[in-house]
Structure 1
């Protein structure tokens, strides 16, 4: 069977004992981002020059030692800022906040040559980060990656890896109709409801009225995970069994005459 090299992103939970170290690194990342934001804005306003990612490198060289970051991480922040600024066509992007109710979720970019995996740990910036490894990272080749925080303060390691995809074996064909009552219904009669919040509405309402924000966030995360799990299993089953998938033309506009 022929195989092709593809890439995919794996998301793994980082043990909670590393939260303090990751939060410190995230605050340093925010500092570098905000510095690039202010520097870029002044350069455009005063000199009419749009700084590139390589320009930021000369201004931030050596800052990693003071901030406790890897030098490659500081470089990647500058390149990411330049990419985002070009994409949104703005002189100044939003500030990354480390405190307050509207603080930015933690983000720490890492380069493939600055990470390694061994014995269930990712080694980066002289720290071994213990993970819940449900994929077996030893068998993958790493590309780029990052540490990311979710709304509940949990940290995850997201890494792009290479893998060999076997030749597709599905031979059937199927049609899918997207709807409102059910998220999707296929020509075989299988349905995806996507209404997992219904069974948790009462619990979520009680938590919100009681002002239990942490509990409400946990319930929202449970709803999201259930929906994603159902959709992933359904789509994986469709791809494995079929060579052709047809989706109905859905128009959400309603014309009233």
Structure 2
């Protein structure tokens, strides 16, 4: 009897404690925590107990961020570069060959293996390709720059050939028209200087009845336009008579420069000349020199 009473009291105390715990759980704020759990049956008492697993609640904003982070790898995978097709690989190969030819200044030659051929072929396969368009523009720029450098040393015929090559590459490039205008203006300015500063020369008859042109000893201390003004009458006479030259000058370097200036301005034929290292500072026109 005594054992039964003791056991009965234990059961009463246990049930009273469970009721208090249940009331405490009912009084807890619902927005603070949420409970998840499972029932566990006591082996001794046979009563079911609720095991509480407390987890912090998440706001909608945190859920959204979590979803975005989770989905980020999927987005990056979707935007990953796809492998090149066979056609794209061929276009890329043409562009790379064109860029290599450009570095080696194979602009229009040799035929079939030059920068222009490769870039034009790439554009034919893929109109609007940026690298191909830039390559063609670079070829034009090179020829235009060469034309200007030639014009500055009075190589006007050579400058014109360079501009024609640029036009073969891209006839619609505005820089070609601009450079033609610059070269034309340069020629006009130099012609005006020549008229304003006429050459003062003494025409003397030599033993062989050739005409001689005396030039100043200080010729190469003058400006470029003044040098041309001094030499221009000789150039005009060479063009008219198709004569060869005999240059009497103490400096071989300066004598060769005089010849280069005259020859570059005579486009109809190649001027022939002989240089004599004498301090006469004179240029003679001769017929069939050395012939």
Name the TM-score class by shorter chain. Answer: under 0.3
Report the TM-score when normalising by structure 2. 0.22
Q: Which gives a bigger RCO, structure 1 or 2 (Cα 8 Å, sep 6+)?
A: 1
Higher helix share: 2
Q: TM-score, structure 1 length as denominator? A: 0.24
Higher strand residue share: 1
